[in-house]
Amino acid sequence: MPVEYFGMTEQGKRWKNEDAYYIDQQGPLSIFAVADGLGGHAAGDVASRLAVTALGETAARGATHRAPAAILREAFSRANTDIISYNRSRGLNAATTLVAAIVEPSGHCTIGTAGDSRATIASGEGVWHTKDHSYVQTLVDRGVLSEDEAFAHPQKHIVEKALGLHESVLPDIYEKDLQDTTLVLSTDGLHDTLRPRVIAEIAARLSPRDAAAHLVREALRQQSADNITVVVVRVT
């Protein structure tokens, strides 16, 4: 199936851009990712680059003979190991989120996440998105906060899972069908500023290139205080 896509990143109000994104074709697989180096940790920009590099290299080795879920699990593990090695050699605590999607020619999509970077899918059936590994999401899961309260919570930036913090990390894995849908991968500079329905509406009605640019502009207009990175993918 034809796959259209576009990615971009914006430094925004931060003094440095610690986000990274990745787009590639490996054999029959289309591979997309965004990563967000953790604020308050040293070398977040290095951590996010290490993460997407590990994904690309792992996918290149396994694209023709391994299941996408296996590729993602290995990529997340390798990225985690690479960041920990980097930290140990320099006495640092670099860490990053990562959300990655592998799209097969059939439109089947496998998504992996660690942290609060997010995949959102807009379709005729509504809006779906991955679950953040965050303090506020834990409160939502426990019934302490509603989704609306979580969106406005002052501690929604606190991440409870990321690459580089512990010796091992297991990503959440999702299997989705992207036929006649639009997929948006984003860092929290976008989805902490724009609600899921707004992201989905913009992504669904514009081309991937125009949607990515419009989403970034709208997040800046709404006073996003973070780096903003977005990859928009459409399978038709």
State the pLDDT confidence band at 157, using cuts at 50, 70 and 90: confident
Lowest mean pLDDT segment, chosen from 3-7, 31-35, 144-148: 144-148
User: Rounded CA gap, 37 and 45, in Å?
Assistant: 5
User: Rounded CA gap, 64 and 60, in Å?
Assistant: 9
Percent of the chain past pLDDT 90, that is, above it, reads: 84
- At residue 200, the pLDDT reads 96
Contacts of 104 (CB under 8 A, 6+ apart): 28, 29, 68
115: which DSSP letter? S
**More confident of the two residues 200 and 2:** 200
Question: What's the mean pLDDT in 220-225?
Answer: 94
Question: What's the mean pLDDT in 205-211?
Answer: 97
State the pLDDT confidence band at 1, using cuts at 50, 70 and 90: low
* pTM score of the predicted model: 0.94
**More confident of the two residues 9 and 235:** 9
State the pLDDT confidence band at 42, using cuts at 50, 70 and 90: confident
User: Rounded CA gap, 7 and 208, in Å?
Assistant: 8
Ordered by start, the domain boundaries in the chain are 3-235
- At residue 65, the pLDDT reads 84
State the pLDDT confidence band at 147, using cuts at 50, 70 and 90: confident
- At residue 64, the pLDDT reads 78
Q: What is the pLDDT of residues 176-188, one digit of tens each?
A: 999 999 999 999 9
Helix residue ranges, H only, the chain: 44-62, 68-90, 135-141, 147-151, 188-191, 196-205, 208-221
* Topology of the domain comprising 3-235: Phosphatase 2c; domain 1 (3.60.40)
For the cut 80, the answer to whether the pLDDT of residue 63 exceeds it is no
φ/ψ region of 24 (left if φ > 0, alpha if ψ in -120 to 50, else beta) reads beta
Q: Average pLDDT, whole number, for the chain?
A: 94
State the pLDDT confidence band at 224, using cuts at 50, 70 and 90: very high
Question: How many CA atoms are closer than 13 Å to the CA of 27, on its beta-carbon side?
Answer: 15
State the pLDDT confidence band at 133, using cuts at 50, 70 and 90: very high
Question: What's the mean pLDDT in 66-77?
Answer: 96
- At residue 8, the pLDDT reads 98
Question: HEC profile for 201-236?
Answer: HHHHHCCHHHHHHHHHHHHHHCCCCCCEEEEEEEEC
